[in-house]
Amino acid sequence: MTRVKICGVTSVEQALSCAGAGADAVGVNFVTSSPRRVETEMAREIVRAVGDAALVVGVVAAMTVDAMRALREKTGVACLQLHGDDAGTNVAALLPHAYASVGIADAEDAARAETLPGDFVMVDAKVVGALGGTGHTFDWSLVALLAKRRKLVLAGGLTADNVAGAIRAVRPWCVDVASGVERAPGDKDMAKVRAFIEAVRGSG
């Protein structure tokens, strides 16, 4: 069964609602430039409130390994999702509780994703100047073989309308959505969240 991660939750209420709707994981964003960014105290409250109901993942970029370790310890997030040019280098030092995200535009990007350390790897649409959460899709066929060899987290423009097709094309370990279930960045629409999860569960 394909797992579901709802990324960019910004409050305890959002996180609990997503977990209650059946999300396997929720993401809290620490990237300074992100409109979904939360403070460490809010992240800690989310982790405490969610408990075992869902995995809480911390989204990070442009941080040293020591800073990421400290953040993980301070907030209690279960693992870290690394973005940026140094993600592949740094993730090795944080295993097994970390994975890197790679922007995909062509076969070369997909090949680079396969070289990253760890069991898990995330793939997203490659958009110049953005780390993720853009609402753009990419050619899913580029990562179909990678999904057979790795625990692939598929992101990039997923919605309730297209996620079943994405799952059939790629067979990912997990699908990740942020903008596709929002009214505005960081403002989750629970009707969209439930529709997304239902579409995943009904995809076979």
Instruction: For 40-93, write each residue's pLDDT tens digit.
Output: 999 999 999 999 999 999 999 999 999 999 999 999 999 999 998 888 889 999
Q: What is the mean pLDDT of the segment spanning 7-35?
A: 96
Give the pair of three-digit tokens for residue 164: 């079943």
Q: What share of the chain is helix, strand, coil (3-state, %, to 5)?
A: 40, 25, 35
Known active-site residue 7 = yes
The sign one gets for the Cα dihedral 167, 150, 82, 9 is: positive
- Considering the candidates 7, 18, 79, 174, report the single residue annotated as catalytic: 7
Closest CA to 172 of 193, 139, 146: 146
Query: Which residue in the list 18, 24, 79, 124 is annotated as catalytic?
Result: 124
199 band by pLDDT with thresholds 50, 70 and 90: very high
Q: What is the pLDDT of residue 204?
A: 64
Q: How far is the C-alpha of 132 from the C-alpha of 10, rounded, in Å?
A: 16
**Span 123-128, average pLDDT:** 83
Q: What is the pLDDT of residue 56?
A: 98
User: CA–CA distance from 56 to each of 17, 86, 126, 167 (Å)?
Assistant: 13, 22, 24, 22
Residue 175 near residue 166, CB atoms below 8 Å: yes
Q: Residue 203: what pLDDT?
A: 79
Average pLDDT, the chain: 94
